[in-house]
Amino acid sequence: MSDTAQLTPSETSPYAGLPPINVKLFEAKARKGLSFDQIAKSINKDEVWVAAAFYGQAKLSEEELKKVSQVLDIPATEALSELGNHWWPNRGLGPMPPRDPVVYRLYESVLVYGHAIKAVVHEKFGDGIMSMIDCKVTIDKKPDPKGDRVVLTFDGKFLPYATW
């Protein structure tokens, strides 16, 4: 068995298609032993949003890029040249349906509760949607003697359908 033959890149990896600098961000984070929360604090952002940026799903401003590069000890010029003003996220990480159980459970929430959520949104807000663009996602740890709980919150603007 030789490495070069067996070590096959994979579309299903969450790193598939990311610019090289993103992989360097993950490596530096691992080397430094920092959490997303610790990195996020340095730019006054939330950990979920910063993790999304590491996965190429959000756009850091040039100021934020410089600050993150400093915190992680990587050259800011490289980060700016790859993720600077000319770069725009190509959002959407596969595969779908997700294979990883953590991500699949989110997908299952759409299968099981999607229509119920739609029905209640309509009852409470009318004909429109909950925006996933103007939306903030946060994760809290809620201690519980029967087992800690993950509290995942989506706070998104309601957008009514235009008529014309």
User: With CB under 8 A, what is the number of residues at the site for a copy of itself?
Assistant: 119
Set 31, 105, 109, 149: catalytic member: 105
Q: Any residues with CB less than 8 A from the CB of 149 and at least 6 apart, and which? A: 141, 142
Single residue of 62, 70, 75, 90 touching a copy of itself by CB under 8 A? 90
Question: On the CB side of 137, how many CA atoms lie within 13 Å of its CA?
Answer: 13
Task: Output the six-digit token pair for 119.
Answer: 């029905």
- The Cα 116–Cα 110 span in angstroms is 9
77 belongs to the binding site for a copy of itself (CB under 8 A): no
Q: In the stretch 102-121, what mask flags binding to a copy of itself with x, by CB under 8 A?
A: xxxxxxxxxxxxxxxxxxxx
- Residue 142 Cβ vs a copy of itself, minimum distance, rounded to whole Å: 7
To the nearest whole angstrom, how small is the minimum distance from the Cβ of residue 122 to a copy of itself? 4
Phi/psi at 17 (5° precision): 85, 0
62, 73, 122, 145: residue in contact with a copy of itself (rule CB under 8 A): 122
Catalytic residue check, 131: yes
Give 74-81's long-range contacts (Cβ < 8 A, gap of 24+).
74/24, 74/25, 74/28, 78/21, 78/24, 79/21, 79/25
**How many Cβ atoms are within 10 Å of 83's Cβ, its own excluded?**
24
- 105 is annotated as an active-site residue: yes
Binding test (CB under 8 A) with a copy of itself, winner from 63, 73, 124, 145:
124
Residue from 41, 47, 71, 76 in contact with a copy of itself (CB under 8 A):
47
Contacting a copy of itself (CB under 8 A), which of 67, 76, 91, 145?
A: 91
Two structure tokens written together for 137:
């996602």
Of the candidates 42, 47, 82, 108, the residue annotated as catalytic is 108
Residues annotated as catalytic are: 105, 108, 131
